[in-house]
Structure 1
Amino acid sequence: MDIQSIYQLYSISSGIEINSKKVKKGSIFIALKGKNFDGNQFAYEAILNGAILAIVDDKRYAFDEKIIFVYNTLYFLHELAMYHRHRLYHVPIIAITGSNGKTTTKELIKVILAKKYKKVHSTINNFNNHIGIPLTILSMPMDTQISVIEIGANHEKEIEKMCRIVNPDYGYITNFGKAHLEGFKNLEGIIRSKLELYDFLKKNNKVIFINGDDPIQLSNSMETNRYIFSGTKKKKTDINIEYSWKKNTTKSVLYIKNIEIVSPLIGNYNLYNIASAITIGTYFKVPLKKMKEAVEEYIPNNYRSQIFMKNNVKIIIDCYNANPTSMIEALTFFNNIQGYKIVILGDMLELGSFSNNEHEKIISFIKKSDINIAFLIGNIFFNTKKTSFKIKKFINKKNFVEWFKKSSLQKTDYILIKGSRKIGLESLICLI
């Protein structure tokens, strides 16, 4: 079967599935391979579970008329997604990438656009890699009016490749921070990678949204079709936004056209995420009053900049992910809050040879800060040389939990919990 014939089946199917146990009746199963699994082995199980078709790249498993062999199932997934995007060429897609704040920015843009458009499509959770992006494109209904797609990357040329699948009409880079250093090697590699989005948009004469306060964005978007927002009144700024950089606050406040917008998102570092979403909403002519409603109604989830009150303690949990840039931003914000403060930090992963030095920098910051106690969890933090009287290290979460249950802490006003996703620090909330 060729791609067109399979697409016709896809168009009447209940969707694409890559997990045979989650197959819905009428879906198409694509057998992908990973380090510890081979989806080909589950193709027939998918058919038995209700799939109308299974795609494999191992001929040994293509023993049923409903099982189709292709050379490479991942490549096929990308081709099918591109075919679907071609069919929906008229749907404007906004692509979001950057080191930090991609998902928060994407969610803010989505809720703002939903104030004008009834059919807004977007990336689910953080399905932003070479598998999640084509699945996201294939989840786009035919009646979609506008879409917001998040693009992640852990090595160069990945964003370039994903742009060929997404074919975005608009794009925005949140920032350039120290994330996935193991794959990018250095900050220059990170910048080159993120700018692959600009390169695609420039080549295709599309629109780029620019944070005018970011010199890297400004200098690398010259002679492009760009739409700029800034906190300073520059001549070539399309939108002026006034930021409220207040200390000792757990809300984000900004002003546009003298209208105050107060977001429950914590941390001054979220102000640019909010500002970019408002800028994009303005470009698409969403009324400012409606944008204010959307921003002020938006409550983050998935442990991203969330705040809980428990036993009279404000717990700030931001542990969906962590890298040196986002960690310092969170600690800087937390340090400016007045009160007795405790941080519980987990290892920052995927930093390669930079790992030890970046974790030492976090400890140096804590030593000089007004943070009262710091609990550092994970093998990397545990093996760092620097320490302080207010720092206690644990080689893993289990050891911390055992110690914590036996201890008694001083009356605390705030607790910040932050670490990489794989450390799973959100489970610590129940201890407090």
Structure 2
Amino acid sequence: PAGRIVLRLALPGRHNVANAAAATATALAVGAAPEAIASGLERMRPVAGRLEPKIIDRDICIIDDTYNANPASLQAALEVLATFPGRHWLVLGDMAELGDAAPDYHRQVAQMVRDYHVDRLLTIGELSRLTAASFGEGADHHASLDALVASLGESLEPHTTVLVKGSRSMRMERVVAALTSE
């Protein structure tokens, strides 16, 4: 069919725009009406733990991307973080299931985090300790969840967006819950 479909997608990130475009092409190919496609896509909301913004007091936004983590999903999340105004912080837990190259991946993502102008990096987990060390100044590694949450609570400032990310095994949703009182 000819024409355009204009809609407002509530899912952040270029990767979600690409997913919506692919879904649109597939739906059109099987005969769905453009209006129905637009309506369905506009009703989409982030799945819990997948780039889900949560506003808390003092002009602080938490981006809950705790569902899972790997270098590609971290990059997609950092692209979203970069669109928010103010300071950008990353709370990163280990990225699991990377095989023997896991230590190298954790060191390498430090440069990516710097490239996205993250102001502060807080890590937890043995592999993420390597990310903090490679990131250098502005990074703090924490041995426990309690220590990480305490550090965040003491240092969070207005006009800061905090991206929380890590593999499921790290249970990073506990950080989000502590910050948002969920």
Q: Same fold (TM over 0.5)?
A: yes
Q: Contact 2:51–2:77 (CA<8 Å) still a contact in 1?
A: no
Aligned match of 2:10 in 246, 261, 264? 264
| Residue 131 (structure 2) pairs with residue 390 (structure 1) | no
Measure how far apart 1:292 and its partner are.
Answer: 0.6
Corresponding position of 1:366: 113
Once the 2 structures are TM-superposed, how far is the Cα of residue 374 of structure 1 from its aligned partner?
1.4
In the TM superposition, residue 295 of structure 1 has moved relative to its aligned partner by: 0.6
Over 6 Å off, 4+ runs: none
CA 401–275 in structure 1, closer or farther in 2 if over 3 Å, else same: same
Question: Which residue number corresponds to residue 346 of structure 1?
Answer: 93
Partner deviation per Cα, 1:301-337 (whole Å, 9 max, x = no partner) = 2311212222132221111111111112211332243
Within a 5 Å distance, the mapping from 1:9-408 to structure 2 comes to: 257-311=3-57, 312-384=59-131, 385-405=133-153, 407-408=154-155
| 8 Å contact from structure 1 (residues 367, 388) kept in 2 | no
Q: Which has the higher contact order (CA 8 A, sep 6+)?
A: 2
SS at match of 2:7: strand
Counterpart CA distance in 1 for 2:170 and 2:91 is 12
Greater helix share, structure number: 2
The structure number with the bigger radius of gyration is 1
The gaps in structure 2 that reach 5 residues or longer are none
SS at match of 1:262: coil
SS in 2 for 1:343: strand
Residue of structure 2 aligned with 1:420, choices 162, 167, 174: 167
Query: TM-score, structure 2 length as denominator?
Result: 0.86
Alpha-carbon offset, residue 355 of structure 1: 0.6
| 1:420, distance to aligned residue in structure 2 (A) | 0.7
For 2:46 and 2:155, the matched residues in 1 are separated by 31
- Aligned AA (1:424): R
Deviation of residue 430 (structure 1)? 3.3
Q: What residue is the counterpart of 1:183 in the other structure?
A: none
* 1:106-147 Cα distance to aligned partner (Å, 9 max, x none): xxxxxxxxxxxxxxxxxxxxxxxxxxxxxxxxxxxxxxxxxx
CA contact (8 A) 1:418 1:425 kept: yes
Code of the aligned partner of 1:400:
L
Name 1:129's counterpart in structure 2. none
Distance in 2 of aligned mates of 1:361 and 1:390: 16
Q: Report the TM-score when normalising by structure 1.
A: 0.38
Assess if the C-alpha contact under 8 Å between 2:87 and 2:159 holds in 1.
Answer: yes
Pair 368,272 (structure 1): closer, same or farther in 2 beyond 3 Å: closer
Distance in 1 (alpha carbons) for counterparts of 2:142 and 2:13: 27
In 2: Cα distance, 1:257 partner to 1:395 partner: 55
